[in-house]
Structure formats: C-alpha cells, structure tokens
C-alpha cells in the first residue's frame, strides 16, 4: 500500500541472511569508545606481559663507569683484533676497530690529554704492525690473569678484569696500557660516545652500539636473559631489554629458518613472509572470510527494533542498502 493514502507503513520482511548488507542496520556509536577502551586494555596487558621493558638505553659512559675493567678489555681486544667488532669491519662507517674506537678518538682529543698520551701515540704509530699486535696480545693475556673465574654470566659470558689490579701488570706491553687508560677516561666522560655519533651522524648510535657489544656487560646481560643472537637477540637501541613486539617475525626468521642467519637469506625470507601477508591472505577464500564468518560486524552494528523503521529518517530507501538492490517491501 503506498504512502500518502492514510495507510500505516509496513515493515519490510527481513531476509534470512544475517550479513549487514542484506538488511538495514544502525551504527551503534556508543560501542566505539567501549571498543577503544577494550583495545587499550588488551594493549596494556600485552605490553606488561610480553612487551619490551622500557629501560633506559645503555651508554658508553654508563657501561665504562660501572665496569671499567670491561672497557679496558674491550679497548685492548680492539687493538689486538680479537674483539667482536672485528666481524663488523665491512659495515657502514667501520674500518679497523683499533682506529675507530681507540686511536682516532685519542688523536682527536690528544691536545687536551697531555704530553704522555701524545708520546704514546707517536710510539704506537711508529711501530710496525707485528709489534703493535704483539703489544696488544701480551696485554690482553695479562688482563686474563686478573680476570675472575666466573662473572656470574654463565658459561657463555665474558668476565671482566679486576680494574683495581691493572696497575700491577707487568710485561712488554709498549704504549698499550697508556692508550687504553686514556680511552677509558674519554669513555667515562662521554667524549667517546659523542665522537662516535659524530663520525656517522646519519646513523647516530650505529658505532656506539657496536662498541657496547665489545664491552662484556652487554654480552653478559644477553646470556643471563637468554637473549644471545642464536636465541632471540636483543634490540641494540635499548639497554638489555627484549626486542619490540613487531620484531617477532624477523626474530623467528633469523633464529629458526635455515638461511635466516645470513644477510641475503634473512632479507629474502622476510620479503616472502611480507608478500604472503600483504597479497595472499586477502585473496585466500577461507581466510579472508573469517571476519564475516565470526560476525565481527556486530561489534559496531545493531539491528533496528520493531517500530524504529516507522520514523521518517529511518524508513528503507528505495535505492537499496550498501550498493545492493532494494529490499522486498522497500517504499511500500
């Protein structure tokens, strides 16, 4: 019966299909803030139980002040070519760790360090490569004699020498002890970190992070917390915390896949996973239909109650809903 003839509006027959586009629906705006609060609660719980601890970032000054013996060992190993950073020589901004972390900072600050440091640098520079290696190797071996049996970091950890006993070491060390002690002062004062940041201003913490991994403190913390590279790794931009949640997939690739530990394999595997998530998931019939099958749309929709469609602003539109054809009874 048409409108305008004194007749009552007839509520259209509701189709059996529960999908929103098959019947008129109303947006339940009051649910939006409730959903936002629920999402916030979930995010807070995830952050509390599986997120990264928001610890302050480790610094060169902090590590070398709390563990000066470890800093002395790191500088000595960099001169001897036995440090962890030796494996990073091909990375951006890196060359020989002896130059990057020990000698170049000293040359930069030499005018402020006094005649003894300048003389030690001249002696070191004048010596041949074999002699430099012999001095550094001898001093590293001597540091081992004042290193405790266990640092409490587990069997894989690296113990730090007892800094209070470094002055008692004797041997043919050349100028190495003088150089590394001067570097320790630069590290504790904050100069070394600022210098390393200035070398690669576009990669502010790159060299800083590499040096921190030369220091035993970072490795020992990783071993203590089960975060060594062959396990789940650590985020270098933070202190000793677990990595951020969005690094879960790259961590799985790096640790679990056969070629994930290599640079090319790591990149390729991550690209394949990203391509699957971006392109395959939306196209897979069963997977892409999950939100509809779970009726997630009910979180923001509600169905009109009886009599609500009698209101003029809520009457069914003759042109249909959601781009579909008009429903049976629309406009009647």
Distance CA 49, CA 206 (A): 29
Give every CB contact of residue 63 below 8 A, 6+ residues apart in sequence.
70, 71, 212, 215, 217, 218
- Burial bucket for residue 63 (CB in 10 Å: 0-12, 13-18, 19+): buried
At 320 the pLDDT is 52
What rounded mean pLDDT belongs to the chain? 79
Strand, coil or helix: what is 218? Answer: helix
What's the domain count of the chain?
1
Do 327 and 23 meet the contact criterion of CB atoms below 8 Å apart?
yes
**Quick one: DSSP state of residue 305?**
P
pTM to 2 decimal places: 0.62
Residue 167 has pLDDT above 80, yes or no: yes
- 115-150 residue pLDDT tens: 999 999 999 999 999 999 999 999 999 999 999 875
Strand (E) or helix (H) holding 27: strand 26-27
Q: Does residue 164 fall inside a structural domain?
A: yes
- For residue 202, the enclosing domain spans 60-243
Q: Does residue 284 fall inside a structural domain?
A: no
Q: Does residue 122 fall inside a structural domain?
A: yes
Do 158 and 148 meet the contact criterion of CB atoms below 8 Å apart?
no
Distance CA 280, CA 278 (A): 6
Q: Which two tokens stand for residue 122?
A: 């001249």
Q: Does residue 124 fall inside a structural domain?
A: yes
Q: Does residue 98 fall inside a structural domain?
A: yes
Q: Does residue 3 fall inside a structural domain?
A: no
Distance CA 33, CA 7 (A): 41
- 8-34 residue pLDDT tens: 555 555 444 555 555 667 777 888 899
Q: Does residue 143 fall inside a structural domain?
A: yes
Q: Does residue 193 fall inside a structural domain?
A: yes
């Amino acid at each position: 019966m048409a409108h305008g003839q004194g007749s009552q509006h007839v509520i259209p027959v509701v189709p059996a299909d529960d999908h929103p586009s098959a019947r008129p629906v109303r947006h339940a705006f009051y649910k939006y803030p409730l959903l936002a609060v629920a999402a916030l609660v979930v995010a807070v719980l995830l952050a509390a139980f599986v997120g990264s601890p928001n610890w302050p970032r480790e610094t060169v000054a902090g590590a070398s002040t709390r563990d000066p013996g470890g800093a002395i060992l790191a500088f000595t190993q960099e001169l001897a070519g036995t440090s962890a950073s030796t494996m990073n020589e091909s990375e951006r901004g890196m060359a020989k760790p002896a130059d990057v972390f020990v000698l170049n900072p000293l040359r930069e600050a030499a005018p402020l360090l006094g005649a003894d440091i300048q003389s030690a640098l001249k002696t070191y520079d004048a010596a041949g490569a074999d002699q430099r290696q012999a001095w550094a190797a001898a001093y590293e071996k001597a540091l081992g004699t004042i290193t405790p049996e266990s640092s409490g970091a587990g069997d894989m950890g690296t113990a730090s020498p007892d800094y209070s006993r470094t002055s008692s070491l004797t041997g043919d060390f050349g100028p190495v002890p003088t150089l590394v002690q001067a570097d320790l002062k630069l590290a504790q004062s904050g100069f070394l970190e600022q210098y390393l940041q200035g070398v690669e201003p576009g990669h502010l913490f790159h060299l800083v992070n590499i040096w921190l991994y030369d220091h035993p403190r970072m490795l020992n913390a990783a071993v203590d917390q089960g975060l060594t590279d062959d396990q789940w790794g650590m985020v270098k931009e933070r202190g000793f915390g677990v990595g951020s949640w969005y690094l879960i997939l790259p961590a799985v690739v790096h640790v679990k896949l056969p070629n994930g530990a290599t640079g090319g394999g790591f990149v390729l595997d991550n690209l394949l996973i990203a391509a699957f998530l971006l392109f395959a998931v939306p196209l897979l019939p069963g997977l892409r239909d999950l939100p509809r099958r779970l009726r997630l749309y009910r979180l923001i929709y509600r169905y009109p109650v009886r009599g609500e469609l009698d209101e003029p602003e809520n009457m069914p539109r003759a042109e249909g809903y959601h781009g579909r054809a008009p429903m049976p009874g629309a406009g009647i």
